[in-house]
Amino acid sequence: MNFYLVGERNNIAGSRKFKRLIEEKKYEEALEISREQIENGASIIDINLDDALLDSKVEMEIFLKTLSNDIAVSQIPIMIDSSNFDVIEVALKNIPGKAIVNSISLKEGEKEFLRKAKVIKSYGAAVVVMTFDEEGQAVEYNKKIDVCKRAYNLLVENGWKKENIVFDPNILTIGTGREEDRYHAVDFIRATEWISKNLKGAKISGGISNLSFAFRGNSNLRKLIHDRFLEKAIKNGLNMGIVNPNEEVIEFSEELVTLVDRLIDGEDVVDEVLEKFKTVVVDRKSNSDLSLSKIEKNVEERLKTKILEGKVRDLESDIDEALKSYKALDIIQNILMVALEEVGDRFEKGEFYLPQIIKSAVVMENAVKYLTPHIKQKETYKKSKRKILMCTVKGDVHDIGKNITKTVLTCNGYDFIDLGVMVDKETIYNSAVEYKVDAVTLSGLITPSLSEMKEVLDLFDKNNKTIPIIIAGAATSKLHTALKLEPVYKKSVFYTTDASSTVVLLDSLLGEASKIFKEKVENEYQNLRELYYSNKNNTITKDISTARLNGIHKSYNPIAPKSFEKKVLQIQIQNVLKNIDWSIFLSTLKVKGSSEEKTVLDEAYRTLKDWSSKNIVIKVIYKICEVSKNNDFLDIAGMKIPLIRNQGSTNESLADYFEEEDYLGIFIASIKPDNETDIFQQLLANTLVEASSEYLQEYISKSNWNIHIKPAIGYPCLPDHSLKKDIFEFLKAENIGVKLSENFSMKPLSTVCGIYIGNPKSEYISPRIILDDQIEEISKVRLISPTILKRYMGL
């Protein structure tokens, strides 16, 4: 049986070098990566140009036309790898030889599956079918083969040649430490064997690097896992493997090979594997530090290791020893900062994870604090990469994202000035001028912060400044930045998604190619604006009266609660553990699915246990009320709650789930972590308060009144943040120690406020089109000017 290596390095997401070359329009150099892969044994080249900042269709066409002029590469089958079918169609029109489309699936149903298959077939291409269906990804063996059999029959019935059908039964990550992930390799190999025996003529492919993703950063271990897995999978019918053909050949001991075989076979040997690989010595530069945890002989190496591993034990005694040979400033700049920059480099490469760099930054902070009294008055720091001013804007108290970014910037050699939270525009402007900063970052979690950001930009613009300002935070988006913010402060506003992206952005913004980068972003924002206004012109809109008439009322028979009494509760942490969804917590820390996931979860549970011992609890206040409805307004004892209605082609509103006389719940839940300045603890508290709202819904539903959904104030269902003020006053929220800022940001940070709806037909909605007539109607009822109301709603 033939096996084909599929080269994976012509992938924007998988190769930073390839991405850079495409961004710089160096297509010939990018093609050199294809040639290298062919020279190293690749039989097929996988090409993926999916990236939010690129026009993937244009880039795909140019790159494939460049490829078609290359004698060697144009003779090799091309695998088009894209999640955008428009990109796939462009590629099919420009591939000189045999094409393989990666991929289609049954995720969107049979009709869409067959539509795409028909297009692919018309070009004579082969197709990779991923094992997804309408229910999601096929994880277990039986589901994998069921999806493959169904897709195979559909394609064959529609005239597909069996040899042009390729199945990818999803290679999923092993070695995470979770029981449910242990058998992913086994399930894939079993599915491979079944397909090769039962779906005659079809081929089988897989992305091999997915298997070892939990060990990202340990290239030797990953290489061995890939080799052993391929040997087993090929014997069972695997025809294609998407790999890096440039990996070096490495010899491993028989003991290690056996241990990795056991891991692939589903045995719980993750700790044994990691422990064994600590002692592996490989004659290769990138792996020279595998035994990092050994005790180095000199003080310089010990201090470096403390930074790299984030360990503070004996830090001060090591510093005292170093002070016998070095000046305090030299220790900071030539030993500690060098190590910290290595932490930043490893984070960028995916070798280190966010919890690790947070620990490293804490060690650095402690070291600098200890060394500061030893710095002589005339000594000065070397110039850092650049100086960045950071803050959360006026009215917003959230700073977790800012603090994470600050940590990552520190590890990447940037100096920063942190103004903290709730910072007014004058302070931001004056500080930027006084400290002669190279860039400013504005952060905001709640939608009123968007207006504050606009005022800051306006102040900089009026004073003819050109200091780049970076926009970040949960309330922000690239589209909003392009539409509302960049036009205020032309060519100097840049949106970023998270901490690691901020580093990349600053490196581009303040680097040698700054001018080219700024022009690229400016063009991107202009394209976004043109696309938005073009779509807006074609958007169906309705006045609020018409929209209300077109709303679909979901009637039901309201059931009165057992009690209308206001309740104040203290919920013990152990009661909500079963309600915790760890996915956002792990994703924010960049460890989801990685080898660090189990370590982080263990630390989280230890922290929760410590909080419980200190009697830290979730504080809750809630009440079920009688409510009357008038149009789209609810009236609770004189408190008016507007329920926003969409004014587009559909006209849904939460008001559709209420009868004229009905019931409504209102609630606040909050927890204050032991240390609010600790990023890990604050993220953990956020996770816990979300879990507590789930627990509270279950508790109230069982004991008092059945709840179906619990929309939170400030989210798309209820975008007006000022409603928090009414609810806080109505419930007397100060009794559980929570309060609001002037822009309705809640304190403690880990606080949630919302309503309960009892209609079993109710669903969460997201009104996208809200016109001025609806705003004016709400304005009259709530006695808030339309301009201010829009600000509170982020419009």
At a CB cut-off of 8 Å and minimum separation 6, what does 127 contact? 100, 101, 103, 104, 117, 120, 121, 155, 160, 164, 165, 166
At a CB cut-off of 8 Å and minimum separation 6, what does 2 contact? 239
User: Is residue 383 predicted with pLDDT exceeding 80?
Assistant: no
Task: Please compute the mean of the pLDDT values over residues 645-658 and round it to a whole number.
Answer: 92
Task: Please compute the mean of the pLDDT values over residues 341-345 and round it to a whole number.
Answer: 76
CA distance 669 to 710: 12
Predicted confidence at residue 510, as pLDDT, reads 86
Predicted confidence at residue 284, as pLDDT, reads 44
| Distance between first and last Cα of the chain | 61
More confident residue, 405 or 736: 736
pLDDT, tens digit, 9 for 90 and up, residues 591-627: 777 777 888 888 889 889 889 888 899 999 999 999 9
User: Is residue 281 predicted with pLDDT exceeding 70?
Assistant: no
At 777, the pLDDT band (50, 70, 90 cuts) reads very high
Predicted confidence at residue 277, as pLDDT, reads 76
Percent of the chain topping pLDDT 70: 92
Percent of the chain topping pLDDT 90: 42
More confident residue, 295 or 390: 390
User: Is residue 572 predicted with pLDDT exceeding 80?
Assistant: yes
At 695, the pLDDT band (50, 70, 90 cuts) reads very high
User: Is residue 584 predicted with pLDDT exceeding 90?
Assistant: no
CA distance 535 to 529: 10
The per-residue DSSP string of 149-216 comes to HHHHHHHHHTT--GGGEEEE-------SS-GGGTTHHHHHHHHHHHHHHHSTT-EEEEEGGGGGGGGT
User: Is residue 229 predicted with pLDDT exceeding 60?
Assistant: yes
For the chain, the residue count is: 795
Q: Dig out the tokens for 632 from the structure.
A: 């789209």
Task: Please compute the mean of the pLDDT values over residues 772-788 and round it to a whole number.
Answer: 92
The per-residue DSSP string of 474-539 comes to TT--HHHIIIIIGGGSTT-EEE--SHHHHHHHHHHHSSTTHHHHHHHHHHHHHHHHHHHHHHHHT-
Question: Cβ(405)–Cβ(358) under 8 Å?
Answer: no
More confident residue, 429 or 414: 429
Secondary structure, 3-state, 534-554: HHHHCCCCCCHHHHHHHCCCC
pLDDT, tens digit, 9 for 90 and up, residues 85-105: 999 999 998 886 779 999 899
Q: Which long-range CB contacts under 8 A does 90-93 form with residues at least 24 apart?
A: 90/57, 90/60, 90/61, 91/47, 91/60, 91/61, 91/64, 92/119, 92/120, 92/123, 92/125, 93/61, 93/123
**Cα R_g (the chain), whole angstroms:** 29
Q: How many CB atoms lie within 10 A of CB 543?
A: 13
Predicted confidence at residue 348, as pLDDT, reads 63
Helix (H, G, I), strand (E, B) or coil at 130: strand
The per-residue DSSP string of 307-331 comes to HHHT--TTHHHHHHHHTTTS-HHHI
User: Is residue 756 predicted with pLDDT exceeding 80?
Assistant: yes
Please report the sign of the dihedral spanned by the C-alpha atoms of residue 152, residue 156, residue 159, residue 161.
positive
Task: Please compute the mean of the pLDDT values over residues 230-247 and round it to a whole number.
Answer: 85
CA distance 469 to 389: 9
Predicted confidence at residue 94, as pLDDT, reads 87
Q: Enter the pTM of the model.
A: 0.53
Predicted confidence at residue 297, as pLDDT, reads 53
Q: Dig out the tokens for 465 from the structure.
A: 């400044």
User: Is residue 505 predicted with pLDDT exceeding 90?
Assistant: no
Give CA separation, 443 vs 221, 391, 498, 714, in Å. 39, 6, 11, 17
- Strand residues in 245-294 grouped as ranges (E): none
CA distance 152 to 170: 16
CA distance 228 to 385: 44
pLDDT, tens digit, 9 for 90 and up, residues 283-336: 443 333 333 333 335 888 888 888 887 777 778 888 988 888 888 878 887 888
Task: Please compute the mean of the pLDDT values over residues 420-435 and round it to a whole number.
Answer: 90
Give CA separation, 405 vs 467, 563, 678, in Å. 19, 47, 14
Predicted confidence at residue 707, as pLDDT, reads 94
Site of tokens 């289609």:
104
User: Is residue 52 predicted with pLDDT exceeding 80?
Assistant: no
Helix (H, G, I), strand (E, B) or coil at 620: strand
Task: Please compute the mean of the pLDDT values over residues 101-110 and round it to a whole number.
Answer: 92
User: Is residue 379 predicted with pLDDT exceeding 80?
Assistant: no
Determine what percent of the chain falls in helix, strand and coil, rounding each to the nearest 5.
50, 15, 35
Q: What is the mean pLDDT of the chain?
A: 86
Predicted confidence at residue 353, as pLDDT, reads 66
pLDDT, tens digit, 9 for 90 and up, residues 53-92: 788 999 999 999 888 766 567 778 899 998 889 999 999 9
Task: Please compute the mean of the pLDDT values over residues 1-21 and round it to a whole number.
Answer: 83
Q: Which of 550, 662, 555, 675 is nearest to 607 (CA)?
A: 675
Predicted confidence at residue 83, as pLDDT, reads 84
> One-letter amino acid identity for 609?
K
**Mutual orientation of helices 299-309 and 354-371 as an angle, nearest 10°?**
130
pLDDT, tens digit, 9 for 90 and up, residues 709-731: 999 998 888 989 899 999 999 99
CA distance 399 to 393: 10
Q: Dig out the tokens for 192 from the structure.
A: 């491979």
Enzyme catalytic residues: 396, 398, 449
pLDDT, tens digit, 9 for 90 and up, residues 453-471: 999 999 999 999 999 999 9
Helix (H, G, I), strand (E, B) or coil at 438: coil
Task: Please compute the mean of the pLDDT values over residues 355-380 and round it to a whole number.
Answer: 75
Q: How many CB atoms lie within 10 A of CB 697?
A: 19
User: Is residue 167 predicted with pLDDT exceeding 90?
Assistant: yes
User: Is residue 704 predicted with pLDDT exceeding 90?
Assistant: yes
Asked which of 1-15, 364-378, 540-554 is least confident by mean pLDDT, the reply is: 364-378
Asked which of 231-240, 385-394, 661-670 is least confident by mean pLDDT, the reply is: 385-394
